[in-house]
């Protein structure tokens, strides 16, 4: 019962994610394509939530659903002829081939990987990861991965300063 329900939710979310992604490339209307991209992002967030990764799911909605998509829509605004701008371009066959290659590579990797199922009763530290993923991630970021964390901070600071330098009125 529980499993059937979980599977139904998974397939629904997967359909939303993949369907949204397909709409992005098939819609002629740029605005609709951008909005389909958001649907796909939200579907992916749902998949993360189903995997008990609440923090990643919420971060996906916050960053991709709320911020990146606003940037995308603003970029769409700058496009000429929004209702039909999303049509074929000369690079399309090459892009299709690259996408197919990437898909094949990923599918092969997923099929080859040895998936281990976790036991129902997890040892304490591992259980804590699933119960409270946010604080586990935070602790890891400030202990084991503190160098990467600081490097990302410097990178973001540089990006902010760069953005300010670019838009500054002289």
Task: Take residue 54 and report the two structure tokens written for it.
Answer: 């609440």
State which residue, 21 or 59, has the beta carbon closest to other proteins.
Answer: 59
Exactly one of 8, 12, 22, 77 binds other proteins (CB under 8 A); that residue is 77
What secondary structure does DSSP assign to 12-55, as a single string? HHHHHHHHHHHHHHH-SSHHHHHHHHHHHHHHHHHHHHHTT-HH
Nearer to other proteins, 25 or 130 (CB): 130
Based on CB atoms, which residue is closest to other proteins, 79 or 92?
A: 79
Counting Cα atoms < 13 Å in the Cβ hemisphere of 149 gives: 10
Report yes or no: 82 and 29 within 8 Å, Cβ to Cβ.
Answer: yes
24 forms part of the interface with other proteins (CB under 8 A) = no
Q: Does 46 bind other proteins (CB under 8 A)?
A: no
Report the candidate in 56, 59, 60 with the shortest Cα–Cα distance to residue 41: 60
Quick one: 62 or 98, whose CB is closer to other proteins?
Answer: 62
81-100 residues near other proteins, rule: CB under 8 A:
82
Pick the binder of other proteins from 59, 85, 129, 141 (CB under 8 A).
59
65 CB neighbour count, 10 Å cutoff: 19
Site string for other proteins, 96-135 (x = CB under 8 A): -----------------------------------xx-xx
Among positions 40, 47, 61, 86, the unique one binding other proteins when judged by CB under 8 A: 61
Size of the site for other proteins (CB under 8 A): 25
> How far does CA 123 lie from the centroid of its chain?
30
Helical residues (DSSP H) of the chain, grouped into ranges: 2-26, 30-50, 54-60, 69-77, 92-112, 124-131, 133-142, 146-167
Residue numbers of the site for other proteins (CB under 8 A)? Answer: 1, 29, 31-32, 35, 38, 54-55, 58-59, 61-62, 65-67, 69-70, 73-74, 77, 82, 131-132, 134-135
């Amino acid at each position: 019962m529980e499993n059937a329900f979980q599977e139904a939710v998974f397939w629904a979310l997967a359909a939303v994610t993949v369907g949204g992604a397909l709409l992005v490339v098939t819609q002629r209307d740029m605005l609709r394509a951008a909005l389909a991209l958001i649907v796909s992002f939200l579907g992916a967030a749902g998949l993360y939530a189903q995997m008990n990764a609440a923090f990643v799911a919420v971060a996906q909605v916050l960053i991709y659903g709320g911020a990146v998509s606003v940037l995308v829509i603003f970029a769409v605004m700058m496009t000429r002829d929004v209702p039909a701008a999303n049509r074929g371009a000369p690079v399309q066959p090459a892009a299709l081939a690259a996408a197919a290659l990437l898909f094949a590579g990923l599918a092969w990797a997923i099929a080859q990987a040895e998936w281990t199922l976790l036991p129902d009763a997890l040892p304490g530290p591992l259980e804590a990861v699933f119960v409270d993923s946010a604080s586990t991630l935070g602790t890891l970021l400030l202990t084991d991965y503190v160098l990467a964390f600081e490097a990302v901070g410097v990178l973001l600071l540089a990006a902010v300063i760069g953005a300010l330098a670019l838009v500054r009125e002289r």
